[in-house]
Amino acid sequence: KIEIWSRQQAAERRPDARYLPFDLLEVAAAQPALIRHLLEQVLVDLQQGCLAPLPLQVFAEQHCVEAFRLMAQARHVGKLVISRGEQPAALRVRPDGTYLVSGALGALGQQLLAWLAQRGARSLLLVCRSAAQPPAEAQALLDRLAEQGVACRLLPVALGAAGDGVDAVAPLVAALGALPAGYPLRGVLHAAGVLDDGLIGGQTPDRLQAVLAPKASGWWQLERAVAAVGAPLDFAIAFSSMAALLGSPGQSSYGAANGALDGACGAGGGFGGTGAITLALQWGPWAGAGMAAGQGRRLAARGVRPLPPPAALEALGVALRRGRGGVLAVVDNDWPLLARQAPPRQAAAMRSLVEALPSGPGSGPGAGQPERQRICGLPAPERQAALVALLQHRLAAVMGLADASAIDPGDSLFQIGLDSLMAVELAASIHSDLGVKLELDSLAGDPSLDTLAALVLRGLERADGLSGEAPLDLAQEAQLPPGWSLPSGPAASPPGEAILLTGGSGFLGAYLLAGQLHRWPALRPVVLVRAADGEQGAARLRHNLERYGLWQPAWGERIEALPGDLALPRFGLEPKAFADLAGRIGGILH
């Protein structure tokens, strides 16, 4: 072990340490070469084995509770590390790659293009039947992407062409081969698809093939094209549907087509001879877009909530960051309602999802647990003692004590060795067992098991209606007595022509500033803001108001941004400027 001591500490040297004769502060200031020599000596000692690293204990992610408990009890030596094991690398949208989007000019495809551009994509290959003559809305999007520097190449191809698919594969191969050398194909997002709903009795081979073609056949054609050009593909994502997961009335063909995509991605094995990750996303309906547009009320009645497009695209980003292939469902369903209307086989498949959800008053963590049911079933005088006994065992487990009965319920928890990390773990255990959430201020002061048990018991009684007290009626409490009126007073007067406002670039400051501007049309607020100059400060204030949806263009001429620092004398202003400011403001909002 090497230690560096000041001269004042030299008399305290221990015999097990090796000392270097430097006063570190003096050396650092006067002779940096000696510091370099010190570091070189340390490296030599490391290489020769004179210095040993601190012990390292690695805990798997599922054993992190044991790791924190060991650290909380100060029984560890060296470092503790929580290991998640080897994780796949996150997939990302790269600015130096091209991304192929099928069904690119459809409702979902257009949102996908904007999302890719936002993620940094600068080269897109759009495969769509209508690419030769884009609709007006799609053309407007393409124009906006071009203004952002995104190169969009349009390929008018109908995926899943009849026959052996040469009609679709050949132009795909040609388009991929013509990509710029600096923008090779990095990702495929297959969002093409058509619907032809109908009862099974009315289905024909031709109707089935029309639905299978763009989905399943189109996927295989894309795979053949990628194999032909040998693209350095990172991922291939198939837009599947919840219809393949749960079935959907009248959509046997659509469910089969998406099920084929799920099977292809679930099998793994890359895409077109590449090592690309293949992922099928079983989407729930997108709100206001896609094939479920206009079906919101019918779907909600079944328990299927549409996905807001921003949330769906955020889920797509999460799926990429996972870096894993396979099949992933992205849905927002009311599972109990959906299960009640489902056929028996479907309902059985949803049972585990329904059982994992809260289902009424007193539900949540701890609901349905034996300990909660046992304590709530006891006579009122016996509940406190039963809770104390339960908490004794939970506390003993947290503190690593073998004998729970050795803990005196009246003793201070912190005096018997409980620390902040253990307190958090104890509170989590109580929440899990009994469904009662203890806020951290419940553990403030000098708590004991008796006081904690009383708090938990009140929580249980409130949740399960065991206290016998009438529930608080907030609507009744909000009623004012008859005849009450607002006391009269002088009318508010404006604070002059200008006020000084601090904190205007924060959340509260934005609303204070907007409120003053609304209330006093002639007021010119002077807002103290950290900025290099007034122009930069004004831009910062405007951006903050826009962030909260408060900005009005007319305010630009009324707000005066004053560059300064509240922590400095006179805000860092020159004496004359400070005196001028003090002379013209009629009020301060700090």
pLDDT value, residue 360: 42
pLDDT-derived band at 364, boundaries 50, 70, 90: very low
Residues 6+ apart with CB under 8 A from 536: 561, 563
Contact (CB, 8 A) for 197 and 250: yes
Which has the minimum average pLDDT: 22-31, 265-274, 559-568?
A: 22-31
Q: Does residue 472 register a pLDDT over 80?
A: no
How far is it, in rounded angstroms, from Cα 377 to Cα 372? 8
- Higher-confidence residue of 107 and 184: namely 184
pLDDT value, residue 433: 79
pLDDT value, residue 24: 60
Contact (CB, 8 A) for 531 and 540: yes
Contact (CB, 8 A) for 230 and 270: no
Mean pLDDT of 109-135: 91
521-542 pLDDT per residue, tens: 899 999 999 888 999 999 999 9
Q: Does residue 26 register a pLDDT over 60?
A: yes
Going by their DSSP bridges, the two strands 98-102 and 56-60 should be labelled as unpaired
Best-predicted range by mean pLDDT (228-232, 401-405, 407-411): 228-232
pLDDT value, residue 295: 63
pLDDT value, residue 431: 83
pLDDT value, residue 184: 94
Which pair of tokens denotes residue 147? Answer: 């203004």
| Strand order across the beta sheet in which 560-563 lies | 560-563, 526-529, 500-501, 588-589
Which pair of tokens denotes residue 11? Answer: 């008399």
- Please give the share of the chain, as a percent, with pLDDT higher than 70: 87
201-259 pLDDT per residue, tens: 888 898 999 899 999 999 999 999 999 998 999 999 999 999 898 888 788 999 999 99
How far is it, in rounded angstroms, from Cα 312 to Cα 292? 14
Determine the longest span between alpha carbons in the chain, in angstroms.
Answer: 98
In 3-state terms, what secondary structure has residue 195? coil
Mean pLDDT of 586-590: 92
Q: What is the mean pLDDT of the chain?
A: 83
pLDDT value, residue 579: 94
Which has the minimum average pLDDT: 185-199, 371-385, 509-523?
A: 371-385
Contact (CB, 8 A) for 91 and 277: yes
pLDDT-derived band at 263, boundaries 50, 70, 90: very high
Of the candidates 196, 334, 325, the one whose C-alpha atom is nearest the C-alpha of residue 255 is 196
343-359 pLDDT per residue, tens: 777 777 787 777 766 54
Mean pLDDT of 65-88: 83
* β-pair partners for 102: 127, 190
pLDDT value, residue 319: 93
Residues 6+ apart with CB under 8 A from 159: 102, 127, 168, 192, 213, 214, 217, 218, 221, 222
Which pair of tokens denotes residue 200? Answer: 């099974």
pLDDT value, residue 13: 56
How far is it, in rounded angstroms, from Cα 417 to Cα 427? 16
Mean pLDDT of 286-302: 66
- Higher-confidence residue of 189 and 22: namely 189
Half-sphere exposure of 54 (CA within 13 A, CB side): 9
Helix, strand and coil in the chain, % to nearest 5 = 50, 10, 40
pLDDT value, residue 272: 87
Which has the minimum average pLDDT: 66-75, 354-363, 378-387, 438-447?
A: 354-363
Q: How many CB atoms lie within 10 A of CB 179?
A: 19
pLDDT-derived band at 162, boundaries 50, 70, 90: low
Q: Does residue 2 register a pLDDT over 70?
A: no
Alpha helices in 238-328 (DSSP H): 242-246, 252-266, 296-302, 309-322
Mean pLDDT of 284-306: 72
How far is it, in rounded angstroms, from Cα 147 to Cα 126? 17
Q: Does residue 462 register a pLDDT over 90?
A: no
Mean pLDDT of 104-118: 92
Report CA torsion sign: 126, 132, 138, 139. positive
Q: How many CB atoms lie within 10 A of CB 446?
A: 11
